[in-house]
């Protein structure tokens, strides 16, 4: 690929969200990914934490992710569950969402909001 202001290596959730933010700011961006599809062998992540959901909410897209996963108390430290239900936030829970579901949800958000994906 040539002619882009920014090239992002990696089409996972982080790369996709970065591309989306840059595209919304008017930056010409491309994502390159070594995998031919979004299919993953195994799982690398199990969901989103409260603060991540808050950031997605600030961008107006949290609902799209919440619809795909299951809200639950997921916070813990050293194997000890922590109840965050009384935290002063609109999203005082975590979201159980497999990485493959998260990646696909990010791609759908990108396609509907700001980018065309060349692959996948």
* Paired sense of beta strands 94-96 and 70-72, if any: antiparallel
Q: Which two tokens stand for residue 38?
A: 């979004």
Percent of the chain exceeding pLDDT 90 equals: 30
Would you state the pLDDT for residue 20?
87
CA distance 19 to 110: 8
| Per-residue pLDDT reduced to its tens digit, 76-108 | 889 898 888 899 999 999 999 888 888 888 888
| Per-residue pLDDT reduced to its tens digit, 53-66 | 999 999 889 999 99
List the CATH code of the domain at 1-45+99-120.
Answer: 3.50.50.60
Domain ranges in the chain? 1-45+99-120, 47-97
pTM flag (> 0.85): no
In 29-81, the DSSP E strands lie at 29-32, 47-48, 70-72, 76-77, 80-81
Q: What distance, in Å, lies between the first and last C-alpha atoms of the chain?
A: 16
């Amino acid at each position: 690929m040539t002619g882009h202001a920014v090239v992002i290596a990696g089409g996972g959730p982080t790369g996709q969200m970065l591309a989306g933010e840059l595209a919304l700011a008017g930056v010409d961006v491309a994502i390159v990914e070594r995998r031919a599809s979004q299919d993953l062998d195994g799982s690398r992540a199990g969901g989103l934490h409260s603060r991540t959901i808050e950031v997605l909410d600030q961008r107006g897209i949290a609902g799209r992710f919440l619809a795909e996963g299951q809200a639950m108390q997921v916070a813990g430290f050293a194997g000890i569950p922590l109840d965050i239900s009384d935290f002063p936030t609109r999203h005082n829970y975590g979201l159980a969402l497999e990485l493959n579901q998260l990646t696909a949800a990010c791609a759908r958000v990108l396609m509907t909001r700001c980018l065309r994906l060349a692959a996948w």
